Amino acid sequence: MKVTLPNNSVLEMEPGSTILDCVKKIGPGLAKSALAAIYNGKELDLSRTLTEDGSLRVLTHQNPESLELVRHSTAHLMAMAVSELFPGTLLTIGPVIENGFYYDFDSTHKFSPEDFPAIEEKMKELAKKDFPVERSEMARGDAIAYYKDPSHREPYKVEMMEEWTDEKVSFYKQGPFSDLCRGPHVPATGKLQHFKLLSVAGAYWRGDEKRPMLQRIYATAFLNKEDLEKHLFQLEEAKKRDHRKVGKELDYFHLEEGSPGMVFWHARGWRLYTKLMEYIRVKLARRGYQEVRTPEVVEKNLFVKSGHVANYADLMFFTESENREFVIKPMNCPCHVEIFKQGIKSFRDLPIRLAEFGKCHRNELAGVMHGLMRVRGFTQDDAHIFCTVDQIADEVADFCRLLQEVYADFGFNEIIVKLADRPPKRVGGDEVWTTAEAALKEACQRAGMSYELNPGEGAFYGPKLEFTLKDSLGRHWQCGTIQVDFNTAGRLSAEYVASDGSKIAPVMLHRAVFGSLERFIGILIENFAGDLPLWINPQQIRILPVSEKFLDAAAELNQKLLDAGFFSEVDVRNDKIGFKIREGEREKVPYLVILGDKELQSGKISLRKRKTGDLGAFSLDEAMEKFKLEISSRGA
RNA sequence: GCCCAAAUAGCUCAGCGGUAGAGCACUUCCUUGGUAAGGAAGAGGUCCCGGGUUCGAGUCCCGGUUUGGGCUCCA
């Protein structure tokens, strides 16, 4: 049998040899460090027997592809440790996830982080024993019978296997522990060294709330110690940056028990909020959007006609007055349609782009609220573009460019685009869907964005693009979206007069760049760890008088800065300058101005930049130029 | 909505059947200063809400609310 290596050399192997035999032939060092191999494009265990000619690539700790393998094998190691420490625990599944893996257990023992050291110790002990990990196969029926036997009862495994159609299933055995698994795995438990248990949480069997609640242990594993430590450091960093914590420290907002999921914006947070609105408002005006404002309390009937009450009632707040029923609007679209319907629209008027900072309320499930990221009352930077089918591509392409421009201004340069196409249940003919999907694809191309397909995930009324940005810690946040809608305008009897005089319902494009102002602010806080760039920072300058003698001079300077449009304030407290500097740094004020005798004598001010330190003396004009430059360049 | 946990001073938290505590912040006084914490004194609490157990409940039990970690869902 011929085995081709990556350097194109060919090894001649006896029939019946395993991959490991092959690797040994390449070199004993490689055989020692090998974890698995890719043979003819398939990832396989080293113990697998070669049955055909092929090309071989050996995976070691050096290869990024090994990460999933190691994580999955570590999941088995964790399951083994848990089984030994807590006999009677039932096994379910232990998949690899983005930054690690988890394993779901059904156990009478209630796991808590206090169990982690013992489990980790056990894992290390089992790893040290270096059990070989051995693959075996069994007929599916036999495996089911085996797992039904009371002495090794695993009902969850039985349920999974009963749904499969494979004739044979594979098991992986390490020492006394074995688990149903497709593999592949590392050759021995000794290869597993860099892991950490992270958290424990409830999770339904198969994500179904009617099924038993299992206990999920989240953990992670890496190929080397440095990567593990780097990841653990990032988790710590993320915790420090938590927008709920930072937002409170910076006095941006608070939430309270009486209004769950509704934000009380404090002066500073609201300054940031309005800054973002002003920023996007200018961009929209230049692209031909018309900003409008519609009511938050709307007659229920409008949302009955739009279909929201039928499909969305669980998430809506209702109210009534004078025997009439109203809704607190959960979205702005029907209101924008009402504006569109005022007067007669011609095809010449299209596209019409109606934008609104629309405050919406959704009665989200109690368990899903999360700081600013998931709230019940929020404001979308919403707009609806009423257009013809032919105009979709142009409008979407223009939106994609707008979105790129905006995200780049905030320093987000990596954007993931997902195209969700036609779902099984949908309205509209196939030819319209095809046109719309093609238009979205074309728009992405024109904007130079590559997209992943999210098959069947579109809304019932049309396909959509979803935009996810990556923050400074590499975390993903879905913000922007543009959705094609063939349904709503027609339902609400909105139409335009076409060139042939017929009346046609326009296509509606629902779109948002930030998504919601609340969520976007949460993302900004975490991305910048509270150190917002000067151009959006609601605190820009704080004047620190060296002693009370300089309070008047400080007030005068403060007024000049306020007149010039900067956010400035004076620390009037009777404390030493060192203390005020410390406080200013702690409260993340970008610039501190020290004002004392020296400054009054020289007519200059002393500037101190956060995290950098003393910048020296500047005339007021020089300092303001400096601020303006930093603001216009949007520098961080 | 479901599982688990938490809720004590403005903030961060300790106390876990026997008279409510600390640090920071706040107020007053002393100090009037030069690039990351000057000193002293004072004030501040329905211990989330409602029931129960007990001679006695922040503390134990039950119910509710909110928050947190997840599941599911989503801007």
pTM to 2 decimals? 0.88
Annotated catalytic residue A510? yes
Rounded CA-CA distance A476/A464 in Å is 19
Q: How far is the CA of A575 from the C1' of B29 (A)?
A: 14
Looking at residue A307, its pLDDT comes to 87
- Residues 6 or more apart whose Cβ sits within 8 Å of residue A481: A464, A465, A466, A467, A510, A511, A512, A515
Token look-up 């056990």 returns A122
Going across the sheet that includes A415-420, the strands are: A289-291, A352-361, A377-387, A507-516, A476-485, A464-470, A415-420, A451-454
**In sequence order, what are the beta bridge partners of A4?**
A10, A55
Question: Which residue in the list A464, A511, A519, A588 is annotated as catalytic?
Answer: A464
Annotated catalytic residue A42? no
> Residue A477, CA: closest nucleotide via C1'?
B75
Q: How far is the CA of A594 from the C1' of B35 (A)?
A: 8
Q: Is A149 exposed, middle or buried (0-12, 13-18, 19+ CB in 10 A)?
A: exposed
The stretches in chain A having pLDDT less than 50 are: none
Question: Which residue in the list A174, A193, A215, A380 is annotated as catalytic?
Answer: A380
What's the distance, CA A207 to chain centroid? 20
DSSP string of A591-603?
EEEEESHHHHHHT
3-state secondary structure of A178: strand
Instruction: Compute CA distances A563 → A2, A86, A362, A591, whole Å.
Output: 81, 69, 40, 17
Residues A516 and A478 sit within 8 Å (Cβ to Cβ)? no
Nearest residue to A383 (alpha-carbon basis) of A403, A354, A404, A407: A354
Annotated catalytic residue A382? yes
Nucleotide B68: nearest residue by CA–C1'?
A370
Q: How far is the CA of A250 from the C1' of B10 (A)?
A: 14
H/E stretch holding A320: strand A317-321
Backbone angles phi, psi at A420, to 5 degrees: -95, 120
Q: Packing angle between helix A392-409 and helix A267-286, nearest 10 degrees?
A: 140
Q: In this structure, which long-range contacts are made by residues A426-431, counting pairs with CB atoms below 8 Å and at least 24 apart in sequence?
A: A426/A458, A426/A460, A426/A461, A427/A460, A427/A461, A427/A486, A427/A487, A428/A461, A428/A462, A428/A486, A428/A487
> Residue A597, CA: closest nucleotide via C1'?
B34
Question: Which residue in the list A510, A511, A542, A588 is annotated as catalytic?
Answer: A510
Q: How far is the CA of A240 from the C1' of B30 (A)?
A: 38
Q: How far is the CA of A609 from the C1' of B11 (A)?
A: 26
For chain A, the distance separating the N- and C-terminal CA atoms, rounded to the nearest angstrom, is: 61
Kindly report, residue by residue over A173-227, the tens digit of the pLDDT.
898 888 888 878 888 898 888 999 888 887 888 877 777 778 888 999 998 889 8
Residues A587 and A580 sit within 8 Å (Cβ to Cβ)? no
Q: What's the longest Cα–Cα distance across chain A?
A: 94
Annotated catalytic residue A384? yes
Looking at residue A418, its pLDDT comes to 93
Nearest residue to A109 (alpha-carbon basis) of A17, A245, A200: A200
Q: Is A452 exposed, middle or buried (0-12, 13-18, 19+ CB in 10 A)?
A: exposed
Looking at residue A66, its pLDDT comes to 85
Question: Which residue in the list A333, A335, A387, A479 is annotated as catalytic?
Answer: A333
Annotated catalytic residue A391? no
- ipTM of this complex: 0.93
Token look-up 């499930």 returns A365
- Which nucleotides of chain B does any protein CB come within 7 A of? 1-5, 11-12, 26, 29-38, 65-75
Nearest residue to A363 (alpha-carbon basis) of A336, A409, A387, A329: A329
Annotated catalytic residue A62? no
Nearest residue to A214 (alpha-carbon basis) of A223, A222, A204: A204
Looking at residue A465, its pLDDT comes to 94
Annotated catalytic residue A362? yes
Q: In this structure, which long-range contacts are made by residues A473-479, counting pairs with CB atoms below 8 Å and at least 24 apart in sequence?
A: A473/A234, A473/A237, A473/A238, A473/A241, A473/A526, A473/A527, A474/A234, A475/A238, A475/A526, A476/A416, A477/A519, A477/A523, A478/A515, A479/A512, A479/A513, A479/A514, A479/A515, A479/A519, A479/A520, A479/A523
**In sequence order, what are the beta bridge partners of A593?**
A543, A607
Token look-up 């430059």 returns A629
Q: Report which DSSP code applies to A223.
A: S
> Residue A373, CA: closest nucleotide via C1'?
B75
Q: How far is the CA of A551 from the C1' of B32 (A)?
A: 12
